[in-house]
Amino acid sequence: MKYSYYPGCTLKNKAQDLDRYARASALALGFELEEIPEWQCCGGVYPLGSDEIATKLASVRALNYAKEQGQDLITLCSACHHVLKRVNDDMKNVEDIRTRANNYSDFAEPYAGETKVLHFLEVIRDVIGFEELASKVVNPLTDRKIGAYYGCLTLRPGKILDFDDPENPKIMEDFIKALGGTPIIYSMRNECCGGYTALKDPEFTKQRTAQIFEDSTGFGADCLITACPLCMYNLNKSDAKAKVPVYYFTELLAEALGVKEEA
């Protein structure tokens, strides 16, 4: 099975681990990521303004490319996943945005949200299945107590992203179980790390990440996993006493599938 793959800006640079472990793991699980040629950065933050069109066009072009290939579109970064799904929802359901975005474009036919956008984890849950994943694990993460850190962008708004229950998600916990690890549930798992304010207000993100580490380790986590390069950065910058290692979920996946070394 082949998917159009939208890596996004950070996976080509500071978050190469998120990308390469995903590619190796996908092959081990029987699907292939075909990178969209000439994809452009989604902008990292979904433009909320109802009259913002130009800032949505990079996403529209990638979505239309996948449509032309007849493929579903996979993405890994929480921010790309968020932006692409929301722009796709606009193209499907908001006539004004659809009309104006298509007016900017030279597509063979107007794009109207036909592409299905999937996060890599959704492919594992909905296409591969966690049982099938578990059957392919060669290095189970036995005795690992892993806290899933969802952050904000993978989950909300729940109605549009349709990723999981935004207040009580379980996709990453099910993923951890399938890899043989023990998921740790904690209350801060779907709260924001402070995001982009790290640039101008790093003390604030340090407060946020300290709370995340204190909460997760208080429930027994010995490491955290994330799908977001910005969460990863903010968590790594933390000077919290309770700090534990943070991994991209794809790294633990590749480890469990026995493909980490070749990635």
Partner 1 sequence: MSFTNVENQVELIKEISGSDPYKCMKCGKCSASCPSYNEMDIKPHQFASYIIRGDVDELLSSKSAWKCLSCFACIERCPRDVQPGKLVDAARQLAERQRGGDHLQADEIPELLAEDLPQQLLVSAFRRYRR
172/257 with CB nearer partner 1: 172
Residue 10 binds partner 1, judged by CB under 8 A = yes
40/139 with CB nearer partner 1: 40
Binds partner 1 (CB under 8 A): choice among 38, 48, 106, 239: 48
Largest CA distance in the chain: 56
Residue 55 binds partner 1, judged by CB under 8 A = yes
The two tokens of residue 131 are: 């049982």
Distance CA 165, CA 114 (A): 24
CA distances from 166 to 46, 161, 175, 192 (A): 18, 9, 17, 13
Binds partner 1 (CB under 8 A): choice among 140, 166, 180, 258: 166
56/145 with CB nearer partner 1: 56
Residue 187 binds partner 1, judged by CB under 8 A = no
Residue 192 binds partner 1, judged by CB under 8 A = yes
Distance CA 8, CA 16 (A): 11
Residue 9 binds partner 1, judged by CB under 8 A = yes
Distance CA 82, CA 187 (A): 22
What letter does residue 36 receive in the DSSP assignment? P
Distance CA 33, CA 29 (A): 11
Distance CA 86, CA 167 (A): 19
Q: Which stretch binds partner 1 (CB under 8 A): 122-130, 137-145, 152-160, 252-260?
A: 152-160
Q: How would DSSP label each residue in 231-254?
A: HHHHHHT---TT---EEEHHHHHH
Distance CA 185, CA 215 (A): 10
Shortest CA distance to 260 belongs to which of 141, 128, 178? 141
Q: Which stretch binds partner 1 (CB under 8 A): 130-138, 148-156, 171-179, 214-222?
A: 148-156
Compute how many residues bind partner 1; rule: CB under 8 A: 47
Distance CA 155, CA 7 (A): 19
Residue 140 binds partner 1, judged by CB under 8 A = no
Which amino acid, residue 218? G
Residue 158 binds partner 1, judged by CB under 8 A = yes
Residue 14 binds partner 1, judged by CB under 8 A = yes
We find the least distance from the C-beta atom of residue 124 to partner 1, in angstroms, to be 23
Residue 168 binds partner 1, judged by CB under 8 A = no
Residue 113 binds partner 1, judged by CB under 8 A = no
Q: What is the crossing angle of helices 57-69 and 95-104, to 10°?
A: 80
Binds partner 1 (CB under 8 A): choice among 147, 169, 183, 195: 195
Residue 7 binds partner 1, judged by CB under 8 A = no
Binding site for partner 1 (CB under 8 A): 8-10, 13-15, 41, 43-52, 55, 77, 79, 151-153, 155-158, 166-167, 191-192, 194-200, 204, 208, 228-230, 232-233, 236-237
